[in-house]
Amino acid sequence: MHDVGLLLKFRLAFTVVFSAAAGYLLGAPQFVWSDFLLLTLGGFAIVGSSNAFNQIWEIEQDAVMDRTKNRPLPSGRMTKLEAYAWAFGLGVAGTIALGYLNVATAAFGLLSLLIYVLAYTPMKAHSPWAVLVGAFPGAIPFLLGWVAVTGDFGIEAGTLFALQFIWQFPHFWAIAWVGYDDYAKAGYYLLPTRQKDRTATQVSIVYTLWMVFVSVLPAFGITGALTLSVPAALVVLILGLDVLWAAWKHHQSPSDSAARKLMFATIRYLPMVQITYVLNHYLA
């Protein structure tokens, strides 16, 4: 099962399911265990399927990178046939599970799988624009929870999508900076300029500013039923400024250590903002 976990990327899947669960809690008038389980299990299956297909596609690239060469497929511990079985099986199971909630949820789940596998994965080796393409499926989980419980894609779901969409840019560019040399072995150049330079750090700051802006929009009463109290908005703002400070420090000192600090700042930012949103929803 250890190799299955590596193929499906259990830890990454957990963070995605966490986002979907937060979206569900924000949109649910009442908590329904059966619906919540369908969402989390279906979301986990879709993410696992996406990751499995991704690793099937990238066997040769994974084999030359230090951080991925010991994965089940490039190391030979798992066959392609086994990986395909997991990928197709989970993809079908996840779509069916989400379909029990409503058609829109299943459609968004399947869309995220298709974009990740058929667009983002092959594009990685050709253009840094892959980060933009990959941000679409990466942003779907937060809205997926809202759509699962409401059946509606309105301003609320759009705001949740926008926040997680923009967050991915400083997050993944920090990862791409830290892992630049390893990614280069496989022909991946995912920074905005394809180089570790100050233009890349400037762009990261711009996207971080947009992230902070979008995160507090619910406090202004323009995002429908998705609202934030003033105290919650201040917490969200402080969390965003923490990421902005890390992005600024990375720009001032464009080093791997500064990029790593930015990466960790973004990692703690998203779940803490989502928790703040949920607590505000139930306590405000």
Q: Give 3-state DSSP helix, strand, coil % of the chain, rounded to 5.
A: 80, 0, 20
Give the C-alpha distances (Å, rounded to integers) separating 31 from 53, 65, 163, 167, 191.
Answer: 33, 44, 24, 28, 41
Residues 148 and 171 in one domain: no
Q: Domain check: are 101 and 17 in the same one?
A: yes
pTM beyond 0.95? no
Q: Given the structure tokens 């399927």, which residue do they identify?
A: 49
pLDDT in tens, the chain (284 residues): 787 888 888 888 888 899 999 999 999 888 899 999 999 999 999 999 999 999 999 888 888 888 888 888 888 888 899 999 999 999 999 999 999 999 999 999 999 999 999 999 999 989 999 999 999 999 999 999 999 999 888 999 999 999 999 999 999 999 999 999 988 888 889 999 999 999 999 999 999 999 999 999 999 999 999 999 999 999 999 999 999 999 999 999 999 999 999 999 999 999 999 999 999 999 87
- Please give the structure tokens belonging to residue 187: 């022909």
Among 135, 153, 171, which residue terminates a domain? Answer: 153
Q: Which CATH number do you get for residue 66?
A: 1.10.357.140
Mark whether 163 and 251 lie in a shared domain.
yes
Residue 252 to residue 230: CA distance in whole angstroms: 32
Q: Is the domain of 263 the same as that of 220?
A: yes
183 and 110 in one domain?
no
92/232 same-domain check: no
Task: Answer yes or no: do 258 and 268 share one domain.
Answer: yes
DSSP label of 70: T
90 plus 184 within the same structural domain: no
Instruction: Tell me which residue has tokens 């930012």.
Output: 269
* Total structural domains within the chain: 2
Does 143 share its domain with 176? no
Burial of 43: CB neighbours in 10 Å, binned 0-12, 13-18, 19+: buried
Q: Which of 131, 153, 175 is the last residue of a domain?
A: 153
- Domain of residue 18, residue span: 1-153
Same structural domain, 149 and 251: no
Last residue of a domain, one of 132, 153, 174: 153
Instruction: Examine the domain organization and report whether 137 and 36 are in the same domain.
Output: yes
Contacts of 220 (CB under 8 A, 6+ apart): none
| Domain co-membership, 145 together with 182 | no
